[in-house]
Amino acid sequence: MVLQRGWSWIATKARNVLLKILAAGPIPRHVAFVMDGNRRYARKNRKAVPEGHSDGFVTLRRMLEVCMRLNIKCVSAYAFSIENFKRSEEEVSALMTLAEAKLLELCSHGELLDQYGVRLNVIGNTKLLPESVQQAARKAEDMTRHNKRAIFNLCMPYTSRDEMTTAVESCVRDSILAGSKEIIITEQDIDRQMMTSLGDSPPLDILIRTSGVKRLSDYLLWQCCEDTQLQFSSVYWPDFGLFDFIPIILDFQRKVWSTSNL
């Protein structure tokens, strides 16, 4: 047991030194994850589907800490799509129970968000969530509102189409309230109403999707501009770790350096 703790301490120190070296180079301001593959991971490892989702939250916490140690300003995670409500009642119920528990855990005193000064934004059509999950989300947001070092966007339940529709509706409503005779909506108007903009998130630099699937699944489509780097990993999300993330950061740094030399 003592030997095991010793190796764990050495591994943690080595990880932190490696991250410090990486952080000396160009670092993305905003990284987003499509946490795909929880169910396939569960089947592969002969686990129940809720266990796969639970292991996925463990990975999310681990990767969030890695990002904070790299001084990444903003992390977004696609936790639950509006389309996921079409899944079985049992799976949706298990996911909602897990989300409520993890929201309260994340914002508890001394936990990760408190430790690194991270502000939590729950982004999406939250009125679709069960009341208990809405309450947990509001509590988590309120308890981290004073944190200024970094931002964590937990996207649930979310789709880009819903976000863009809501943004346009807000633009129209604001124009009507202002007494405008003619409603003119610009790209900048819509951008200001996007949920990430309202939460003070910087532009999206890297979007990562795990599990080998190469599609965006209606996630941050507006935010994926011409400078956003898309990265696809074949690893299931619960198995995704530091050594899957390092090549992505190195690729980002290489492209930044190559651009700066033009």
Active-site residues: which are they? 36
Q: How far is it, in rounded angstroms, from Cα 189 to Cα 194?
A: 9
157: cis peptide before it, omega within 30°? Answer: yes
How far is residue 248 from each of residues 14, 57, 123, 244, measured CA to CA in Å? Answer: 19, 21, 25, 7
